[in-house]
Chain A
Amino acid sequence: MSTDDAHDPKFGEYGGQYVPEALMPAIEELTDAYQRYVLENEDGFMDEFRERLADFGGRPTPLQYADQLSARYDTDVYLKREDLLHGGAHKLNNALGQVLLAKYMGKERIIAETGAGQHGTATAMAAAHLDMPCEIYMGETDIARQRPNVFRMKINGSEVVPVTVGRGTLKEAISETMREWATTVENTHYVIGSIVGPHPFPKMVRDFQAVISEEAREQAIEKTGGLPDTVLACAGGGSNTMGTFAHFIEDTGVDLYAVEAGGSSLQVDEEEGVAPNSATLSTGDEGVLHGARTKLLQDSDGQIMESHSVSSGLDYAGVGPELAHLVDEDRVTPVNVDDDAALEAFHRLSQDEGIIPALETAHAFGYLEEHHDEVGDSVVINVSGRGDKDLEIAIEETSKRDLDIAPDMSIFDSVGRSPTSQSSGDEPRDSVGGGGL
């Protein structure tokens, strides 16, 4: 594990607590609860957490040898299967931890933001499981592009509140959830979805996610007799990333790569305030957003840029302060993969290994495709989530491109319906050939 002090709100220069005063007493209360329940296992909190992660969540997740990819790249490729965690992504590790903590703290209500909807889904599941009322804030752009997750949250009994400001993605959803928290802070816990936000969130979320690398490290030793040369994980806010890296940090022989979304381009449009990517660690610079000092996509005045990625879960102008610090310390190498390469990797993993990854996750595999000769003899990749939520968008985005690997979807033509019209809802229902079912 990292050797930092649980009470220190900073990671080098990064981190801190840049939030409205109204939230500070709640943050002090949370810091105290983090110390007692998470770090000191008071009242057996961590035991209950681990037990629920096993029974409800399905941990441990396997570390799987990937036959086809290993042959393709001539290196041993191991997959850490967080896609098999309940909910279909690593997000449950954190959501279950925080909802349980909120219960121990005597809070009555949960709020959370979500981008891809995976964190929202995990929080909604954890809230249902632990019998807590829950409201999820989600940007309207993301509601449109991650519909299956909206259904899942609602079916689990959570409210989904659309956020209409700005571009309607993760950045706006976090801002709006912070506003909501500032209003209801006395009885409500904000389950933040990544290693972002004010202290103690980045450390606490990392600790809940660190189970990924705790298992992966042991499993790697058990399966191979040693440690991998390289560990890869995609990075949005960076929670699956830090979770996958945490127990390898001190193994300095293991190279750690955080794979960000290169979007459509790394070029920034200052005039419009748009960065058509989310490559915060590679191209951002230091600033303060959502409670923490970290690396940001911002213009020269300090206004936050609109980011972009084909994957909602990576589409964020900030990044966890701990990752920013580890990049400055040269312990973590930031790299990025663009939309096209991520889509291609999405199809490759699906076809070669029978695993449909989340588009976020696909970025890590895009990197492996492009740089497999630099990862040494063995590599562990975190499969942060499964791609069921992304099927509509993946097919739509694929149809806009000329990808050799893309599956032939012309089957829909013969039944009188294009695969992508399903999502837009612009075709009357009865045009579906064959009707009824």
Chain B
Amino acid sequence: MGLERAFADEPAFVPYLAAGDPNYEASLEYVEALARGGADAIELGLPFSEPIAEGKTIQNAIVRSLEAGMTPDRFFEFVEDLDVDVPLVCMTYYNLIYQYGGGEGPRPFVEKAAAVGIEGLVVPDLPGEEAGPLRTACDEFGLDLVFIVAPTTKGDRLERMLEQVSGYVYVQARLGVTGAREDVDDATEESLARLSDWDVPKAVGFGIKTGDHAERIVSAGADGVIVGSALVDIVAEGHENGDSTDTVADRLETKARELKDGALRGASERPQPERT
């Protein structure tokens, strides 16, 4: 399957934006700007009304996107309208996947996602215990199903999860919800150490804000960094100040480059390659 290729040659920078924030047209430009800035894969949020894993920044992005009319069908159009050539991952909550196509289970959603070119799914409210039907549908249509490893995921749970995972594992850098932070949590390094024996790309997310954070996380053994709130903050600020779409897109591209460069620096500092 496909998503692993985003991590093949060098550490990956994987940005997240809520699709349609603050509106459809601007959001297309923003995602394309991230690709220009060096994104290796992009997580696109399909907004759900009860985002229980999200902090304030992304909650607000979700509200803006929903108010501007985003729906699952609009989301699929959005993906088709995007002009980027990196893999796209859809991040959403299970009820939207489950209801698509009339509440018959996850298959119609996955079929449609595959048809428009989505290559993987991240579903924060779907632990391994409940993932069976979605896993089956993803296998049928060739999508990766990315699981989140939390700082609390240890022992047997970790083993079971890593047997189910495909594409990459999303290593949650700290407990809590999404949101840009000023520091890197020690839990990140502990989680990476627990995962070091597993031959699957490890992308760290939750709280990463700067190129220096990205550098530190990659030097600690991550294969990639996932950055959401720090980018959504740029979108939100531009929206509040009434800045032009081009201006905001430029800022996003610059920020993307900072994060990607940080990740590259981190790789050069690593004592030895952590994967064979």
Contact = CB atoms under 8 A, between A and B. Distances in A.
Given A300-B99, A303-B48, A22 B130 contact: no
B245 interface: no
A334 B272 CA distance: 64
A24 interface: yes
B148 interface: yes
A21 B147 contact: yes
A291 B95 CA distance: 11
A interface, by DSSP: helix, strand, loop or mixed?
mixed
B129 A17 contact: yes
B75 to A, nearest CB: 10
Sorting the interface of chain B by its residue count into under 10, 10 to 19, 20 to 34 or 35 or more gives: 35 or more
B103 interface: yes
Interface stretch (B11-19, B35-43, B50-58): B50-58
Contacts of A186: 152, 175
Contacts of B100: 301-302
A162 interface: no
Interface string B44-78: 00001111111100010000001000011000000
Contact of A286 (B49, B54, B71, B103): B103
Contact of B99 (A24, A175, A179, A301): A301
Contacts of B59: 165
B172 A22 contact: yes
B22 to A, nearest CB: 17
A21 B149 contact: yes
Contacts of B93: 288
B158 to A, nearest CB: 10
B94 A25 contact: no
Given A301-B96, A302-B99, A21 B127 contact: yes
Nearest to A22: B150
A17 B177 contact: no
A289 B95 CA distance: 7
Contacts of A24: 127, 129, 150, 152-153, 157
A20 B153 CA distance: 11
A178 B50 CA distance: 11
Given A182-B177, A183-B175, A303-B66, A21 B148 contact: yes
Contact of B172 (A21, A166, A288): A21
B66 to A, nearest CB: 7
A304 interface: yes
Given A20-B150, A24-B127, A182-B175, 5 more contacts: A17-B130, A19-B125, A175-B51, A288-B93, A298-B99
